[in-house]
């Protein structure tokens, strides 16, 4: 009821243990706290909070317009309602080394299990847009060192994302990934790799967990979790998938209202009232204090 009974520290320990086990961790991107609860109900290993989704939810493009406050607020809301570890897109850390440190501590206070800091210039762009620019290696390394130094819980996962593949090529991206690991990164997120061979090349070059971003309509080909596991990927995110599906269905629904004057034909595609109540755990609120929560649930 209300919020997760699992402490943030325990969620971080669990994430570390899962990664140490060698298991493939699949983390769909949550739209909001409610969808995070659904991700947990469906048995996934973790929840991802995408900067692109957060920006879109605010009606903004993913070009560095969201703030640290936006990210900490939404990720904290999501982390509080699920027992799963939450991994957060922290963009470039929202400034210089001190800003990166503040970002890490703010997200840590919000209860997330991990975050990634990227090496794009400020303001950043969506990782699958053309025209990206990355900072020099020294600046990228400085960001990760600032992040690692700032955390107070040693189990908080600090992941380094590099966008250098699209800018300088695969070899440069591998060299940068190695430098970021040397700087203290617990895991590597190589953005916009083109094929399985590139994932395998990065995997063989580093000795920390690696994340694969399976975002639709991007630069990376879409592979199954089994294919990615076979080349050594440890975490797979589907960052924007639920948003794209929800907006796609919403568009069809609005057209249906215009054309048919009713959504009766779309009822089979909807989450029922009973399913929503079960996901929200209405029953436990009712049991908690009938003198206050004195509503009846439909049977």
The answer to whether position 143 is within a domain reads: yes
Q: Are 26 and 52 found together in one domain?
A: yes
pLDDT band at 283 (very low <50, low <70, confident <90, very high): confident
Report which DSSP code applies to 60. Answer: -
Q: Are 58 and 201 found together in one domain?
A: yes
Q: Are 51 and 190 found together in one domain?
A: yes
Indicate if the pLDDT at residue 131 is higher than 80.
Answer: no
Q: Are 48 and 68 found together in one domain?
A: yes
Is the separation of the CB atoms in 129 and 167 below 8 Å?
Answer: no
Q: Are 199 and 262 found together in one domain?
A: no
Range of the domain at 258: 247-288
The answer to whether position 198 is within a domain reads: yes
Interatomic CA distance for residues 245 and 130, integer angstroms: 24
Number of independent structural domains in the chain: 2
Average pLDDT over residues 19-23: 94
Indicate if the pLDDT at residue 52 is higher than 70.
Answer: yes
Q: Are 27 and 83 found together in one domain?
A: yes
The answer to whether position 127 is within a domain reads: yes
User: Where do we find the tokens 């243990």?
Assistant: 17
Q: What sign does the CA torsion over 70, 73, 76, 78 have?
A: negative
The answer to whether position 53 is within a domain reads: yes
* 81: Cβ contacts below 8 Å, ≥ 6 apart: 3, 4, 33, 36, 37
Interatomic CA distance for residues 295 and 273, integer angstroms: 15
Is the separation of the CB atoms in 181 and 206 below 8 Å?
Answer: yes
Is the separation of the CB atoms in 143 and 119 below 8 Å?
Answer: yes
Residue 291: the pLDDT is: 61
Q: Are 91 and 198 found together in one domain?
A: yes
Interatomic CA distance for residues 36 and 50, integer angstroms: 12
3-state helix vs strand vs coil in the chain, percent to 5: 50, 10, 40
Q: Give per-residue pLDDT as tens, 207-265.
A: 999 999 999 998 788 999 999 999 999 999 999 999 999 999 999 999 999 999 999 99
Q: Give per-residue pLDDT as tens, 134-148.
A: 999 999 999 999 999
CA 24 to chain centre: 15
Tell me, what CATH number does 170's domain have? 3.20.20.60
Strand residue runs (E) in the chain: 25-28, 47-49, 86-89, 114-118, 157-162, 187-190, 211-213, 235-238
- Residues annotated catalytic, as ranges: 48, 62, 89, 91, 116, 118, 126, 161, 191, 213
Interatomic CA distance for residues 32 and 56, integer angstroms: 12
Interatomic CA distance for residues 108 and 102, integer angstroms: 10
Q: Are 113 and 45 found together in one domain?
A: yes
Average pLDDT over residues 49-74: 95
Closest by Cα among 257, 297, 253 to 275: 297
Distances (CA, A) of 196 to 29, 43, 44, 201, 262: 22, 26, 23, 9, 46
For residue 218, which phi and psi values (nearest 5 degrees)? -110, -160
The answer to whether position 297 is within a domain reads: no
């Amino acid at each position: 009821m209300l919020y997760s009974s699992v402490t943030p520290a325990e969620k971080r320990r669990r994430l570390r243990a899962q990664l140490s086990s060698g298991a493939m961790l699949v983390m769909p991107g949550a739209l909001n706290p409610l969808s995070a609860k659904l991700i947990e109900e469906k048995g996934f290993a973790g929840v991802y909070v995408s900067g692109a989704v957060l920006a879109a939810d605010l009606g903004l493009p993913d070009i560095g317009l969201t703030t640290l406050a936006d990210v900490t607020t939404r990720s904290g809301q999501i982390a509080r309602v699920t027992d799963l570890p939450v991994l957060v897109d922290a963009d470039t850390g929202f400034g210089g080394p001190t800003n990166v440190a503040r970002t890490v501590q703010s997200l840590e206070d919000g209860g997330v299990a991990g975050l990634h800091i990227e090496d794009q210039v400020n303001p950043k762009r969506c990782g699958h847009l053309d025209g990206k620019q990355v900072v020099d290696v020294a600046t990228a390394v400085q960001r990760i060192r600032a992040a690692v130094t700032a955390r107070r819980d040693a189990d908080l996962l600090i992941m380094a994302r590099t966008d250098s593949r699209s800018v300088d090529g695969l070899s440069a991206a591998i060299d940068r990934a190695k430098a970021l690991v040397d700087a203290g990164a617990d895991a590597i997120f190589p953005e916009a790799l083109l094929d399985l061979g590139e994932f395998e090349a990065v995997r063989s070059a580093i000795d920390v967990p690696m994340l694969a971003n399976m975002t639709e309509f991007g630069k990376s080909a879409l592979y199954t979790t089994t294919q990615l596991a076979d080349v050594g990927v440890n975490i797979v995110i589907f960052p924007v998938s639920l948003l794209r599906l929800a907006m796609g269905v919403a568009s069809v629904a609005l057209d249906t209202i215009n054309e048919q004057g009713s959504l009766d034909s779309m009822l089979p595609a909807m989450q029922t009232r009973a399913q929503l109540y079960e996901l929200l755990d209405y029953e436990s609120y009712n049991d908690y204090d009938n003198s206050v929560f004195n509503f009846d649930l439909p049977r």
